[in-house]
Amino acid sequence: MYFDGVLVDLDSSGNGLGQWAGRVYIEKNLGTAGQAAFPSLIQDAPTIWTEDHRQRGRAGVYIRLGFNEQLFPNGQPNITFDVKGKKVFDPRDGAQSQGDSSTWTYSSNAALVHADYITDSNFGFSSQYTSEVNQVALIAAANVCDEDVTLADASTENRYECHTVFETSEDRHNLMEQFCGAYAGWCTDTGGQFLIFPGAYRTPSTPTLTIDDMLSPISIRRLASVREFPNGCKGTFISPDHNWQWTDFPPVLGTAYLASDGERRWKDIKLPCTTSSPMAQ
């Protein structure tokens, strides 16, 4: 928790520490189906808040501040939080049960997050996890997302993660595109099942196609305009180093392509689910 961008030290009971001692107290609910109303808020404001104000399924925080001109010279501070998101199911963990959400865990794995959105009955597509999400493809996708990528300083990070916040009123198909952007790939609905494919090399199959495989007459497309083929990419991501604001990531330069094309042509992208500059690249 931050007050005007300053980290607030708290103990495990929600009491302020250091300069905040005796001036800050919080209670938090994580949005469970069986959570109780904030007991201290009921005690502090019994005519406003009762035990029936449980806010089940909704995360929330009750914050009590003690007046102090030095700590709060401008009155109530701007209060912000770093939060972990919704827990998801990982089919790679045999100890978990998709039907028992108490065994789910927090994960930023982009494929698992997307699969959770697809199957969520409150704000997703309400698809059946076991029958409408291809498990083999999902496990392969989750493994790709967890691959270590070595950075310039010799440290490593996961290949693809998803960190995002969205309004439930947003268009679901637009959100699907944003999730796909988190792992530089695509999601298809084939044969009644969702398949998730992150951006990674896969050994191609070598089928033999005949005229019997054609669903419609063959059409010929002329060569596409050179303008359709960028040779460099730039864009923005959500940077934790800039207070979670949109920030430019270093452009990716296709040097060999530029030499062939003779002129720079940019592709500009936005990555609302990415919070790492190397991952954005």
pLDDT digits (tens, 9 = 90+) for 189-247: 999 999 999 999 988 888 888 888 888 888 887 777 777 889 999 999 999 999 889 99
pLDDT in tens, 56-92: 988 999 999 999 998 999 899 999 998 888 889 999 8
For the residues of 89-112, what is the DSSP string, one character each? --TT-TT--TT-GGG-B---BHHH
Task: Quote the longest CA-to-CA distance of the chain.
Answer: 81
Average pLDDT in the 105-128 region?
Answer: 93
Q: Which H helix or E strand runs over 165?
A: none
Q: How confident is the model at residue 33 (pLDDT cuts 50, 70, 90)?
A: confident
For the CA atoms of 208, 210, 216, 219, the dihedral, rounded to the nearest 10 degrees, stands at 80
Q: Is the predicted pLDDT of residue 13 greater than 70, yes or no?
A: yes
pLDDT for 39: 97
Task: Say which residue, 96 or 204, is predicted with more confidence.
Answer: 204
Q: Classify residue 133 by its DSSP letter.
A: B
Q: Cα(12)–Cα(39) distance, rounded to whole angstroms?
A: 16
Task: Please give the structure tokens belonging to residue 208.
Answer: 């033999």
**Could you tell me how many residues make up the chain?**
281
pLDDT in tens, 143-153: 999 999 999 99
> Counting beta carbons within 10 angstroms of the beta carbon of residue 280, is it exposed (0 to 12), middle (13 to 18) or buried (19 or more)?
buried
Interhelix angle 110-119/135-145, nearest 10 degrees? 140
> For the whole model, what pTM was predicted?
0.83
Q: Cα(171)–Cα(212) distance, rounded to whole angstroms?
A: 39
Residue given tokens 């720079």 in the structure block: 264
- Chain-centroid distance of CA 239 in Å reads 13
For 94-114, letters b (16+ CB in 10 Å) and e give: eebebeeeeebeebbbbbbbb
In the chain, what percentage of residues exceed pLDDT 90?
A: 72
